């Protein structure tokens, strides 16, 4: 079962940065020793490049003479966002040997992510793929300052240029775009290198790769779907709660899809085997699947086709919260978004609770199943495929005490047609060293003294928020009012300094409500010489920001919902050299579990928040120091640098677990047809559910399509073809839907019965077996059916199956695992039976009866077959693939086959000898339906049942008549 007390950080991650990097180096060395291809590159895909791009004037542009360039501002004339890194000094950019056409300067925003990426330059070469942002005109300063009517973008903390400051994307020529690539290749920012590194020359390069998009697509993507649909949803707000009267959850999705495709195409253009890819945040949730599609289709040089797509590992990190399944399922495009995310090998969130929400959503909304994965660290003599075991645990941690940082690790994964996307969490931090240096800036001390003089003999509570509905500004003000009402001793003795920076979109209603509430509190509890609430609706300069944090007697950060919040960490660091004041945090922040020594509150409970404020103001110096010391240790240990290194470690760990060094290639159509046409006799073996027809919620509705029936008819009508359906279905179902094809052979109940082509007689393989175990199994299944609403039992002649597809997904899977444990531990040791976990079902059958035995029988009876095609999608079909592993590695000669059990079991009165097979290794096409990373014994793969049918029609010169085929991943 899930544990709801999962720690925010895990064993092995709370060690020093150098130890994590040592672990990364050890993983890379051992992977290389095992023959795994690693390029040493990490590619980051984020919405923006961390640079502002300004196009310098050319002699003419659109036939109009350009004005002379505006002299650039000095680097510190315009203050940066208060929470971001200092800009590079004027000497940060090395002079290029050519005359640059573009002015490049640091973009402020996402400081934690940017700092973490830069820190990886000590160990890896890196590429950053991102949108250029709006290209600015020469009239703008290189630091992004714009016309007075520009707005502040709260996501980046920078001034958004007014429309007249932007250059439309249509006016940027191909020559200008090419020039930007050249100028980016010459750009060097000292901030790209870890500030703690003494030898900057040894740092590996960072390459910036721009993504170009039409303005309509770019803004429809970001300002439209991202900010009006996804961002509210991830913060537990439905779009009608925050959008205009024209709110639509599906508006702008086409732009979101087009923008993601542009990013995936740009990424694919630079991808090399052995790269590690990290996709960042909710702007690009479709990119993992799109990239994997490109890899599988062969659209990327060196990937796809017979090469597979296993040399690239894709990670996705979500910087925002992830809501519960009941909220997320409101999204119209929910399946597209989830499938896009599950294209990654590793999906990582801020906290364990977000991983639970995501896992539950995948199970409940998409019907996917979870699986736990125990991944052993690679060793020099280990197999490439690693060691992976299934179990009931859904938690992640380090297995075994005393195993150290290289111990076995458990992950929860989402199984999508055989591709397992691992789900885990890793906390983000701030660049603690940089923030500590920022608190020592020369301009801070005078402002700090001014604040002390202004608030002399008063306790100061500090709150800094965006004026956004999820930040809970109204609730905080009401809680402060309750503090003054319930704890009258603080009247005229405490001041609330509330700073609200402008949000992305104006909210006049919220702004009016805040102003009215501030006026009400000041009118009720203030006087001519005292104002309890000081409200500043502005963006602070960095000096003012840190001075305010340093002067506070209490920090209050209580959003209604938030993921990563850097202000709380910066507060702790700023307080290190001043008062070491306590901190009140909302329990609905992702960071709250990380900072357990803070006073955590429910922001909706005004009395609780007021009581926490009172407790913080009355706290003794000893308790303040103790709490601060614990918080400071957390903030300075789990930094953005550690976060980035742990992400690399986890992604490298997936190489072993995902068997990415050997993935199943896509079946080559032309080679398939060439061998088919040359063969004098051919053998076709098809599973039914999930192979010829898609898996459906109601098994009786899984009917063969017109194309599937056409393919089977064409193939079976050829006298040189032997065609069999080898299914888990019973005889009655197969007879009803496929019995009208006279030359089609059929095997029912996973090999329990067989009907040869041109025959109406079914042969029973269980007649000589002891089937007394079925009633014992049925009794156990009835026990779980009574306790699992929606489940039912399917009794067959040779097996018994418990189905739970119509149950609550998580409860059904839990009950399945409990039932499986009971059967395997109590009944299997006593009986010659085996337990199979299928797709939303649990089946028990005799050991001697399986699809592999039937395949051996068919092959033994047709030894002159020169072409064999076998397709299946689940574990029962692996028995067929195993039976067709006829040739040793690198073998080119003929093989002989002993009489299988399925031959001797029916008639043991005759003597059977070995048969020499006519087929060669190139003539066997075992094909798994599902993802290329699916663990299978098959040699090839297709992604959907429709593709199986399409390939069969291709062999007989037909084309599908149904809807356009769409690959799953």
Q: What confidence tier does 188 reach under pLDDT thresholds 50, 70, 90?
A: confident
Signed CA dihedral, 740, 746, 748, 754: sign only: positive
Q: What confidence tier does 664 reach under pLDDT thresholds 50, 70, 90?
A: confident
> What is the three-class DSSP state of 356?
helix
User: What are φ and ψ of residue 570, in 5° steps?
Assistant: -65, -30
Strand residue runs (E) in 71-217: 102-106, 125-131, 151-153, 158-160, 206-211
Q: What confidence tier does 964 reach under pLDDT thresholds 50, 70, 90?
A: very low
Helix 111-119 × helix 640-658 angle, to 10°: 70
Per-position DSSP letters for 260-288, written without gaps between them: HHHHHHHHHHH--TT-EEEEESGGGTTHH
Residue 372 predicted with pLDDT over 80:
no
According to the model, what pLDDT value does residue 86 have?
39
Residue 64 predicted with pLDDT over 80:
no
According to the model, what pLDDT value does residue 660 have?
41
Q: Are 48 and 208 in contact (CB under 8 A)?
A: no
Residue 158 predicted with pLDDT over 60:
no
Mean pLDDT of 496-501: 89
Tens digit of each residue's pLDDT (9 = 90 or more) over 136-146: 876 544 444 44
- Of 809, 806, 781, 808, nearest to 793 by C-alpha is 781
Q: Which residues contact 705 (CB under 8 A, 6 or more apart)?
A: 693, 949, 962
Residue 99 predicted with pLDDT over 70:
no
Mean pLDDT of 296-323: 71
User: What are φ and ψ of residue 753, in 5° steps?
Assistant: -140, 150
In this structure, what token pair is assigned to residue 715?
Answer: 């193939």
Residue 958 predicted with pLDDT over 60:
yes
Per-position DSSP letters for 82-99, written without gaps between them: TTSPPPPPTTSSPPPSS-
Tens digit of each residue's pLDDT (9 = 90 or more) over 844-890: 988 878 888 889 989 999 999 999 999 998 888 888 999 999 888 76
Residue 90 predicted with pLDDT over 60:
no
Mean pLDDT of 946-959: 92
Residue 2 predicted with pLDDT over 80:
no
Alpha-carbon span 623 to 556, nearest angstrom = 18
Angle at 168 between CA 164 and CA 171, to 5 degrees: 125
Mean pLDDT of 70-85: 40
User: Would residue 417 be called left, alpha or beta, if left means φ above 0 and alpha means ψ between -120 and 50 degrees?
Assistant: left
More confident position, 604 or 396 = 604
- Of 169, 318, 311, 320, nearest to 234 by C-alpha is 320
Tens digit of each residue's pLDDT (9 = 90 or more) over 776-819: 999 999 999 999 998 999 888 888 999 998 888 888 888 998 99
Alpha-carbon span 571 to 551, nearest angstrom = 10
Q: Are 511 and 535 in contact (CB under 8 A)?
A: no
Q: What confidence tier does 577 reach under pLDDT thresholds 50, 70, 90?
A: confident
Q: What confidence tier does 743 reach under pLDDT thresholds 50, 70, 90?
A: very high
- Please return the burial class of 966, using the count of CB atoms within 10 Å of its CB with bins 0-12, 13-18 and 19+: exposed
DSSP 345: S
Helix 253-270 × helix 287-297 angle, to 10°: 50
According to the model, what pLDDT value does residue 717 have?
93
More confident position, 657 or 221 = 221
Q: What confidence tier does 6 reach under pLDDT thresholds 50, 70, 90?
A: very low
User: What are φ and ψ of residue 683, in 5° steps?
Assistant: -125, 125
Q: Are 344 and 308 in contact (CB under 8 A)?
A: no
Percent of the chain with pLDDT over 70: 80
Signed CA dihedral, 253, 257, 262, 263: sign only: positive
According to the model, what pLDDT value does residue 901 have?
76
User: Which of 89-98, 361-370, 465-474, 568-577 is predicted least confidently?
Assistant: 89-98
- Of 815, 810, 927, 814, nearest to 867 by C-alpha is 927
Tens digit of each residue's pLDDT (9 = 90 or more) over 883-912: 999 888 766 678 888 888 777 766 666 778
According to the model, what pLDDT value does residue 962 have?
64
Alpha-carbon span 550 to 338, nearest angstrom = 43
Q: Quote the pTM value.
A: 0.77
Alpha-carbon span 531 to 489, nearest angstrom = 16
More confident position, 891 or 449 = 449
Q: Which residues contact 454 (CB under 8 A, 6 or more apart)?
A: none
According to the model, what pLDDT value does residue 309 have?
44
Q: What confidence tier does 218 reach under pLDDT thresholds 50, 70, 90?
A: very high
User: Which of 96-110, 492-506, 616-630, 692-706 is predicted least confidently?
Assistant: 96-110
């Amino acid at each position: 079962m899930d544990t709801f007390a999962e720690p925010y950080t895990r064993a092995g991650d709370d060690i020093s940065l150098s130890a994590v990097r040592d672990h990364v180096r050890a993983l890379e060395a051992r992977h290389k020793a095992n023959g795994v291809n690693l390029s040493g590159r990490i590619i980051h895909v984020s919405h923006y490049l961390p640079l502002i791009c300004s196009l310098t004037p050319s002699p003419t542009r659109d036939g109009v003479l350009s004005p002379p360039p505006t002299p650039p501002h000095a680097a510190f004339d315009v203050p940066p966002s208060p929470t971001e890194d200092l800009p590079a000094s004027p000497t940060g950019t090395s002079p290029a040997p050519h005359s640059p056409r573009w002015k490049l300067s640091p973009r402020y925003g996402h400081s934690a992510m940017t700092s973490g990426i830069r820190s990886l330059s000590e160990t890896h070469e890196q590429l950053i793929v991102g949108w250029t942002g709006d290209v600015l005109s020469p009239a703008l300063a290189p630091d992004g300052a714009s016309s007075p009517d520009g707005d502040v973008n709260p996501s980046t903390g920078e001034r958004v240029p007014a429309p007249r400051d932007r250059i439309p994307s249509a006016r940027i020529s191909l020559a200008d775009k090419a020039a930007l690539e050249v100028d980016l290749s010459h750009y060097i920012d000292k901030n790209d290198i870890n500030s703690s590194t003494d030898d900057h020359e040894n740092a590996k390069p960072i390459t910036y790769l721009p993504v170009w998009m039409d303005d309509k697509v770019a803004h429809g993507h970001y300002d439209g779907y991202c900010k009006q649909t996804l961002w509210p949803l991830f913060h537990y707000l439905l779009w009608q709660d925050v959008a205009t009267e024209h709110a639509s959850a599906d508006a702008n999705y086409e732009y979101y899809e087009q923008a993601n495709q542009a990013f995936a195409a740009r990424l694919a253009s630079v991808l090399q085997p052995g790269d590690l890819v990290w996709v960042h945040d909710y702007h690009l949730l479709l990119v993992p699947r799109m990239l994997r599609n490109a890899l599988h289709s062969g659209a990327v040089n060196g990937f796809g086709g017979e090469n597979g797509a296993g040399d690239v590992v894709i990670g996705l990190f979500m910087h925002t919260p992830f809501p519960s399944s009941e909220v997320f399922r409101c999204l119209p495009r929910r399946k597209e978004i989830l499938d896009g995310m599950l294209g990654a090998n590793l999906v990582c969130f801020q906290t364990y609770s977000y991983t639970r929400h995501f896992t539950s959503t995948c199970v409940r909304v998409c019907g996917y199943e979870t699986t736990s994965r125990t991944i052993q660290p690679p060793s020099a003599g280990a197999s490439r495929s690693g060691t992976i075991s299934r179990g009931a645990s859904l938690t992640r941690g380090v297995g075994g005490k005393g195993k150290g940082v290289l111990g076995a690790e458990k992950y929860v994964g989402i199984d999508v047609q055989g591709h397992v996307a691992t789900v885990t969490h890793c906390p983000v931090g701030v660049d603690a060293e940089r923030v500590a240096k920022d608190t020592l800036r020369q301009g801070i001390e005078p402002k700090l003294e001014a604040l002390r003089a202004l608030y002399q003999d008063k306790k100061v509570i500090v709150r800094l928020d965006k004026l956004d509905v999820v930040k809970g500004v109204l609730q905080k003000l009401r809680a402060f009012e309750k503090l003054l009402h319930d704890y009258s001793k603080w009247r005229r003795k405490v001041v609330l300094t509330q700073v609200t920076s402008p949000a992305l979109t104006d909210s006049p209603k919220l702004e009016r409500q805040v102003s009215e509430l501030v006026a009400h509190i000041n009118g009720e509890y203030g006087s001519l010489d005292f104002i309890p609430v000081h409200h500043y609706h502005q963006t602070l300069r960095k000096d003012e920001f840190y001075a305010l944090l340093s002067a506070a007697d209490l920090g209050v950060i209580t959003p209604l919902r938030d993921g990563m919040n850097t202000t709380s960490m910066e507060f702790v660091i700023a307080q290190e050299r001043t008062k070491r004041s306590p901190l009140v945090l909302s329990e609905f922040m992702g960071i709250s579990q990380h900072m357990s020594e803070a006073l955590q509150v429910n922001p909706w409970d005004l009395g609780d928040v007021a009581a926490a404020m009172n407790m913080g103001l009355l706290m003794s110096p000893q308790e303040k120091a103790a709490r601060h010391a614990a918080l400071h240790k957390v903030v300075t240990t789990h930094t953005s640098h550690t976060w980035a290194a742990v992400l690399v470690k986890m992604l490298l760990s997936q190489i072993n677990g995902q068997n990415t060094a050997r993935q199943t290639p896509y079946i080559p159509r032309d080679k398939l047809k060439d061998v088919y046409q040359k063969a004098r006799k051919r053998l076709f073996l098809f599973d039914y559910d999930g192979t010829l027809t898609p898996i459906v919620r109601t098994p009786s509705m899984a009917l063969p399509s017109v194309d599937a029936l056409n393919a089977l008819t064409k193939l079976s009508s050829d006298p040189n073809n032997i065609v069999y359906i080898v299914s888990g279905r019973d005889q009655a179902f197969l007879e009803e839907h496929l019995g009208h094809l006279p030359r089609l052979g059929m095997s029912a109940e996973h090999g329990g019965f067989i009907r040869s082509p041109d025959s109406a007689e079914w042969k029973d393989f269980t007649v000589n077996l002891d089937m007394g175990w079925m009633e014992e199994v049925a009794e156990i299944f009835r026990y779980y059916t009574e306790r699992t609403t929606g489940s039912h039992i399917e009794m067959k002649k040779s097996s018994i199956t418990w189905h739970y597809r119509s149950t609550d997904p998580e409860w059904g899977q839990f009950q399945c695992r409990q039932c499986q444990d009971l059967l395997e531990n109590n009944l299997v040791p006593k009986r010659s039976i085996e337990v199979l976990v299928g797709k939303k079902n649990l089946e028990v059958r005799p050991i001697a009866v399986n699809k592999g035995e039937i395949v051996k029988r068919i092959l033994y009876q047709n030894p002159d077959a020169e072409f064999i095609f076998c397709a299946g999608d689940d574990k029962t079909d692996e028995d067929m693939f195993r039976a067709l592993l006829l040739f040793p590695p690198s073998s080119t000669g003929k093989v002989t086959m002993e009489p299988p059990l399925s031959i001797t079991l029916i008639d043991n009165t005759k003597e059977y000898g070995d048969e020499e097979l006519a087929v060669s290794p190139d003539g066997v096409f075992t094909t798994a339906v599902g993802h290329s990373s699916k663990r299978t014994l098959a040699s090839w793969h297709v992604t959907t049942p429709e593709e199986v049918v399409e390939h069969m029609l291709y062999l007989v010169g037909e084309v599908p008549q149904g809807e356009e085929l769409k690959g799953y991943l």
